[in-house]
Structure 1
Amino acid sequence: MAKLSTNSKKNNGIVKLKTVVKKLQNSLLLGKNSSIYSETRDSSSNQVPEDVKEGHLAVVAVDGDEPKRFIVPLNYLNHPTFLRLLEQAAEEYGFNREGAIT
């Protein structure tokens, strides 16, 4: 019976993760005039950092107090290995956030 509960939790986590990935993909398709973009960007700087090339996004992972920044190609958002990594992170650390990932 415990195995059924574990599988149910795992499937629920995968569904949530897929929803988050879908929202992230959709938010990346928004134009510069969207309200989400204008609310989150720094009004003093209209430039993307030089190391973030077109078709990429910056991701910050924190290990303890040590943040590490990665530049990730957007096509990784659909790659099975990357999705599996996100699923493993959700299982290990939990993920109960609704809305945009910041």
Structure 2
Amino acid sequence: MGIRLVGISEAKEKLRRTLSPRKGSISTSNDVPKGHFPVYVGEAQRRFVVPISYLRHPLFQELLHWAEQEFGYEHRPTGGLTIPCSEDYFLTLISLLKSS
């Protein structure tokens, strides 16, 4: 279980660095709202913006753990985390998180 928490901690740290403001960064219409992070899902790499609070939810942590075990983390240079699950699975998970 300690190994699992390390993986989640690393993902949180990568997201924190991605979302922290950088000197000279230019604001665009695609900016992520404060308290959220981008996730790219599925074969088409569809972009979702989800609340950071989801990182604490056991279902989302399980998804991150599975993705790490199967594929490792792919961190986009433009920001965001790539999770190699289907869009349908991700949308179902997000629906469960919203209702809990």
User: Could you say which TM-score interval applies, normalised by the shorter chain?
Assistant: 0.5 to 0.7
Q: Which residue of 2 aligns with 1:76?
A: 54
Count of residue pairs brought into register by the alignment: 76
Measure the CA separation in 2 of the matches of 1:92 and 1:78.
21
Scaled by the length of structure 1, the TM-score of the pair is: 0.53
Measure the CA separation in 1 of the matches of 2:19 and 2:2.
27
CA RMSD of aligned residues (A): 3.1
Q: How does 1:1-102 map to 2 (within 5 A)?
A: 12=3, 14-24=4-14, 26-27=16-17, 30=20, 32=21, 37-38=22-23, 41=25, 45-49=26-30, 52-63=32-43, 66-93=44-71, 95=72, 101-102=75-76
**SS of equivalent to 1:90:** helix
Between structure 1 and structure 2, the one with the greater Rg is: 1
Per-residue deviation, 1:62 = 4.1
Q: Which consecutive residues of structure 1, in runs of 5 or more, have no partner in the other structure?
A: 1-9
Q: Which residue of 2 aligns with 1:7?
A: none
Task: Find runs of 4+ consecutive structure 1 residues off by over 3 angstroms.
Answer: none
Scaled by the length of structure 2, the TM-score of the pair is: 0.53
Identical-residue share of aligned pairs (%) = 25
Per-residue deviation, 1:82 = 0.7
Measure the CA separation in 1 of the matches of 2:68 and 2:37.
20
Q: Which consecutive residues of structure 2, in runs of 5 or more, have no partner in the other structure?
A: 77-100
Per-residue deviation, 1:54 = 3.0
